[in-house]
Chains A and B, each alone.
Chain A
């Protein structure tokens, strides 16, 4: 199937949680595109709606939440609101997800082979032997030594880094077109993080898989992604090519995020943290959601800014972007 459609087009996606306290607009009208062999970085502080975005694409938003609007075009077909049966044939098959906490994602009482083979057999009519062989090969590919033996182990017999490799292997089992990686290295130490980043990137480029890499850590995204979208309070506030955004951030929030990343040339200098906290999504003040924390805020910011084209391929949602 060599369609001309991009792998994933998200248009004006809205995912709301209808809680007793009110409607939480966790994702409030975001749009982006990822195509074959491309890695999109989705960046933002904790609570900005990144995970909910990932779950929305997977069709895994649980009540009281639901996708309340917008379209999720997977290779041209709208999969938002697809019945669960139909969604299930895509999940883990054409679209896979890697979760944040490797200690929690594998079932503690099932062996690794069980958890891998079931994922293959859910989508392919293959024999157990064949499924096992495939599981073992992929385990080897993600850097697990002696995969034949390790298949028989239980999750608690692996370190955190190794468990995340197993989760990545599971995501790769059915050679998906799209992988949503939700902060897969956040819980790991820096060395292991580096190894995994390198390997995932290699695997992805080789198989031309489209990938959304979710993180709150800009230093992770720099060498990995092609483009990034910066999320704040359920909206995308800036997007563009990764180098351009990191070198010349337009949005005050992006600037703040970059300022809070420790880097070589500023060692010892205190981090320029963004003052204040992510606002409660329950009752966002009118106007720009970043207003309370923004050094550039003025009266214009009392009305909500729209996403505007700042340069070819660069968009920003701000009345006073850092253009110069």
Chain B
């Protein structure tokens, strides 16, 4: 266990280092932030001063070295636009994104597993077919279109749910969260459903495929031969087996849910990281973009590690040493 985790941590450091190179140099070749940040009327001297202030006058490898040096001190640069530390900006927005992403995940699991198992147990029934039809729609409808439809129906036509913002938040362990107030919950619902739709479809398919495979196994027939009730067979014998692929894949997908939240946050004006990154890209706010991308890599790596550990807990046949790093 410790060997496995140490090895993985070392690999992670390497990945983050390589990513920092790619991201930093990549971002520095696109556009010129000065054009955007400085009043076009400004004279040459003023532009020079601005370039110097932002540290853009020095050669790029020097900029990178400074960046790395500061990164070790926990400083990922200052936003050109807000003049605040990029990391601080991201951390301020992160709880909103995480809340949205986790809420979407929760919806996908809580609805997806029962629906998928139902469809897997009764593939020929009307319900089973409808569930599959729904999951095909969930896969193929574009996320932004569904988001706009949700707003049209629930906010505009029915007027039952708000369409933008986070609503009233309360502090929880020093983080601001929406889900503890009715107003916050109402604001959370539409974006969370929008973001969940794709993953929900994925979970339905995984659960359905898993169920169809598992019910054919000898051990399910043997469980029936023991005289167990159908509910025990489905909820214990079948579900425990299908949870392995579902949890593994879903864990890995958590990263992409966070990334996908860019679209949802933009549609619902959800004040999270996704909205921040879109704004930063528009303004060529390089430090924020770099910091965001590095944070994302960091998050992916952490999630993968947690998933592997979780996987070894769920499946007694797997030992951590055997998982390829």
Contacts and interface: CB of A to CB of B under 8 A. Distances in A.
Interface string A43-58: 0000000000000001
Closest 6 pairs between A and B when the two form their complex, measured CB to CB: A92-B227, A92-B226, A104-B218, A91-B227, A154-B316, A119-B226
B241 A118 contact: no
Given A99-B218, A156-B316, A167-B222, A109 B227 contact: no
Given A93-B227, A118-B228, A101 B221 contact: no
Interface residues of B, number: 22
A107 B237 contact: yes
A109 B241 contact: yes
Nearest to B219: A107
B240 interface: yes
Interface of A: 58, 60, 88-93, 96-97, 99, 101, 104-111, 118-119, 122-123, 154, 156, 167, 170
Contacts of B227: 88-93, 119, 122-123
Interface of B is mostly: helix
Given A118-B226, A123-B227, 9 more contacts: A60-B225, A88-B227, A91-B227, A108-B219, A108-B317, A110-B240, A111-B316, A119-B227, A156-B317
B282 interface: no
B209 to A, nearest CB: 17
Given A91-B227, A123-B227, A156-B316, A104 B217 contact: yes
B320 to A, nearest CB: 16
A99 B240 CA distance: 22
Contacts of B217: 104
Contacts of B314: 109
A106 B223 CA distance: 8
B244 interface: yes
28 contacts: A58-B225, A88-B229, A91-B224, A91-B226, A91-B227, A92-B227, A92-B228, A97-B222, A97-B225, A99-B218, A99-B221, A101-B218, A104-B218, A104-B219, A106-B219, A107-B219, A107-B223, A107-B237, A107-B241, A108-B219, A108-B241, A109-B241, A109-B315, A118-B236, A119-B228, A122-B232, A156-B316, A167-B222
Nearest to A110: B240
B234 to A, nearest CB: 13
Nearest to B317: A156
Contacts of A122: 226-229, 232
B239 to A, nearest CB: 10
A27 to B, nearest CB: 17
Contact of B221 (A60, A96, A156): A60
Interface in B200-255: 217-219, 221-229, 232, 236-237, 240-241, 244
B318 to A, nearest CB: 10
Contacts of A111: 316
Nearest to B224: A60
Given A104-B217, A109-B316, A99 B228 contact: no
Contacts of A123: 227
Residue of A89, A106, A111 contacting most chain B CB atoms (<10 Å): A106
Contacts of B221: 60, 99
A289 to B, nearest CB: 28
Contacts of A93: 227
B103 to A, nearest CB: 29
A105 B219 CA distance: 4
A160 to B, nearest CB: 14
A106 B217 CA distance: 10
B262 to A, nearest CB: 37
A106 B316 contact: no
B57 to A, nearest CB: 61
Contacts of B225: 58, 60, 91-92, 96-97, 99
A119 B222 CA distance: 11
A105 B316 contact: no
A108 B232 CA distance: 16
A154 B313 CA distance: 13
A16 B316 CA distance: 39
A63 B163 CA distance: 50
A108 B237 CA distance: 9
A174 B174 CA distance: 56
Contacts of A96: 225-226
A119 B223 CA distance: 8
Nearest to B232: A118
Nearest to A180: B225
Nearest to A157: B316
A215 to B, nearest CB: 18
B251 to A, nearest CB: 17
Residue of B227, B232, B316 contacting most chain A CB atoms (<10 Å): B227
